[in-house]
Amino acid sequence: MLRMHLEEQLFKSPLAIETLDLAMEVLFPFTEFHDTSFDLFIRFTEGKLTKEEGQMLNALGIRF
């Protein structure tokens, strides 16, 4: 939400946006998203994705 707010401002601060991106990159491995995405990747490589998981990934723009 913060990044979207910064992007919407008339006077953008590229340094603030870049710093926020870096912070999200550093924090990502400590989130549940990291674990979940890794689990999905493992199931994908084993050919064990459910139809619903495949549809969700397609909806997110992830092609496989």
Rg of the chain over Cα atoms, rounded to whole angstroms, equals 16
- Looking at residue 47, its amino acid is G
Q: How much is the pTM?
A: 0.57
Q: What is the pLDDT of residues 1-57, one digit of tens each?
A: 898 899 999 898 999 999 999 999 999 999 998 898 899 999 999 999 999 999 998
Domain-wise residue ranges, the chain: 1-30, 31-64
Query: CA-to-CA distance for 35 and 30, rounded, in angstroms?
Result: 9
DSSP state of 28: G
Closest alpha carbon to 40 in 55, 25, 57, 26: 57
Residue scoring higher pLDDT (64 or 44): 44
Residue 64: the pLDDT is: 73
pLDDT at 62: 85
The pair of structure tokens assigned to 37 is 């995405």
E-strand stretches of 1-64:
none
